[in-house]
Amino acid sequence: VSLRARLSILSVALLLALLLVGAGAEYLVLGAYLRHDEASVLRQRINQTVRDLDVRGLPRCPPTRPATPLLAGRLNPARAECIAGALGGAEVSAVILDSSQAVAAHAGQAGQPQLAPEQYRQALAGSPSDYVLTGTSSEEMIAVLQPLRLRGRVVGAVQLSESTMPLHTTQRRLLTVLGLATLALALVAALVTPLLVSRALRPLRRLTRAASALAAGDLDHRVEEPPVTDEVGRLARAFNEMAAAVQRALGVREESEAGMRTFVSDASHELRTPLTTLQGQLDVLGRGAAADRATLRTSLGSMQREVTRMSALVEDLLILTRLESPGTPARQDLVDLDRLVAETVDEQSVRQPNQRVEVDAGVAGEARVLGDREQLRRVIVNLSTNAAKYAPGGTHRWRTRRAGATVSLSLADEGPGIPETVQQRIFDRFYRVGGDAGSAPGSGLGLAIVRSVVEAHGGTVGLASSPQGTTFTISLPAAAG
């Protein structure tokens, strides 16, 4: 059974039960009220009649003298008869009791129920009792019993009784009306409730569809968020947030997977070139060229270069993967950049004795940062190697400065510069200006490593280049103190 049907049935059933309970309660309350009301009518009838008789005498009671007030203080049979006659009627029967509980007179057609002796004693003692119901429910009687006071003295008791049949009729009629109304209301509810429930459940149906669409791979699917912030509204919002999060996560994964694929294929491509060369050389040697000393030397020299190049490439790859694998604890050496620069310049001067290099250091010991000494050395070596390769001649100027909490390190050369169109890309892995491995001596990983290291140390790399020269500037957080 659907939720909609269940909710509808439940609410209609609840409504019906409440209406029925209400109708039952009304029936009972009305019954009690009608009897109470009838009893007070009877009581009033007694009081009224006795008072009238007392004041005006009794014209229709022949045995007594008309002029004499009825209540001379004693109840004689004639007076009793007279009072009974005035009280009794076709539906109401009256009984007058004298002070000895004996029936002094009675009148009226209806039955005269016998009440408990205790009640008669009480009435004769002067206290009126509540009304009494007697008989079975099909022929129920209601009776009231009042002391009969003449001139302030209790001289007997009056009992008035009548059938409650008319009350039953009224009650039954009410029951019919209530029953019909309940039925009509239940019918209306049964028609309207499913519509209301269905309306309330519409957002849930939309959510179900959206969830199915998401599961089927439609990551762009969202549900309309209702403006109200009820449970369904919050659910819709949560669903949309979840869908967006899933989409983001999948996007990130796809991106990193794509990046990984490119990286692996680029690396394989880079390794294949020297391997092909090596294979060619080995083939040549295998065919007997080793016999010729000059060819052998050339071949070995070429093989040596390829192997050197390959190991440099593999080392660069290793550094990059280590930098980018998460969870590697970062070393926190206190590194003096001035000293690293000095060391690098010394090494470089051995290889390029004619290159003019100037070092402009600030206050000694100020350019200190916290980090991995070997990685930072690699940054300086890479920049220096690039300047030597791509901007030989002119002057290479190193400059270190500390400004507040930042240490900056820059290398300016007077080379041909880097075309503006490729300035964005030179930090990419394997990117070389001017094509593949054949035309340039590097792997294209140097600046990628520079950027990775600097960013891992919380710094930035800047580049300014023109046809007159290029300046790389590295900013790193300074070590405290």
List C-alpha distances in Å: 146 to 87, 117, 265, 372, 453: 13, 14, 116, 113, 112
* SS3 of residue 294 by DSSP: helix
**Would you say 371 or 442 has its CB closer to ligand ADP?**
442
- Residue 274 within binding range of ligand ADP, rule CB under 6 A: no
Which bin fits 116, alpha (ψ -120 to 50), beta or left (φ > 0)?
beta
Q: What share of the chain is helix, strand, coil (3-state, %, to 5)?
A: 55, 15, 30
Nearer to Mg ion, 295 or 385 (CB): 385
Smaller CB distance to Mg ion: residue 239 or 430? 430
Q: Candidates 29-37, 172-180, 280-288, 379-387 — which segment interacts with Mg ion by CB under 5 A? A: 379-387
Q: Are 75 and 98 in contact (CB under 8 A)?
A: yes
Measured CA to CA, the distance from residue 245 to residue 102 in angstroms comes to: 98
C-beta separation of 94 from 88 below 8 A: yes
Which amino acid, one-letter code, is at 72? A
Q: What is the DSSP string of 69-115?
A: -S-SS---HHHHHHHHHHH--SS-EEEEEETTS-EEEEE-SS-----
Count of residues near Mg ion by CB under 5 A: 3
Stretch that binds Mg ion, among 279-287, 339-347, 381-389, 464-472 (CB under 5 A): 381-389
Show the binding pattern over residues 430-469: x = contacts ligand ADP (CB under 6 A), - = does not: -xxx------x-xxx-xxx---------------------
Which span sits near Mg ion by CB under 5 A: 52-60, 190-198, 224-232, 382-390?
Answer: 382-390
- Tell me how far, at minimum, the Cβ of 278 lies from Mg ion, in Å: 23
The pair of structure tokens assigned to 459 is: 């710094």
Q: How far is the CB of 303 from ligand ADP (least distance, A)?
A: 21
**193, 299, 375, 386: residue in contact with Mg ion (rule CB under 5 A):** 386
Our finding on whether 335 is near ligand ADP (CB under 6 A) is no
Q: What is the C-alpha separation between 66 and 53, in angstroms, rounded?
A: 11
State which residue, 219 or 456, has the beta carbon closest to ligand ADP.
456
Q: Which residues have CB under 8 Å from 110's CB, separation 6+?
A: 91, 92, 93, 141, 161, 162, 163
Question: By CB under 6 A, is residue 470 in contact with ligand ADP?
Answer: yes
CA–CA distance, 96 with 83 (Å, rounded to integer): 8
Determine the interface stretch with Mg ion among 16-24, 80-88, 282-290, 380-388 (rule: CB under 5 A): 380-388
- 3-state SS class at 233: helix
CA distance 348 to 357: 10
Does 446 engage in binding with Mg ion (CB under 5 A)?
A: yes
Nearer to Mg ion, 81 or 270 (CB): 270
Encoded tokens for 416: 């041909």
Check: CB of residue 35 under 8 Å from CB of residue 167. yes
If the CB atoms of residues 344 and 382 are measured against ligand ADP, the closer one turns out to be 382
Query: Which position among 387, 407, 454, 479 is part of the footprint of ligand ADP (CB under 6 A)?
Result: 387
Q: Which does 444 bind (CB under 5 to 8 A by kind): Mg ion, ligand ADP, none?
A: ligand ADP
Interface with ligand ADP, residue 415, by CB under 6 A:
yes
Contact positions with ligand ADP (CB under 6 A) in 74-93: none
Given the rule CB under 5 A, which of 111-119, 231-239, 286-294, 440-448 is the region that contacts Mg ion? 440-448
Q: Which stretch binds ligand ADP (CB under 6 A): 25-33, 103-111, 186-194, 411-419?
A: 411-419
3-state SS assignment for residue 406:
strand
State the number of binding residues for ligand ADP (CB under 6 A). Answer: 20
The residue ranges that bind Mg ion (CB under 5 A) are 386, 442, 446
Residues that bind ligand ADP (CB under 6 A): 382, 386-387, 390-391, 413, 415, 418, 426, 431-433, 440, 442-444, 446-448, 470
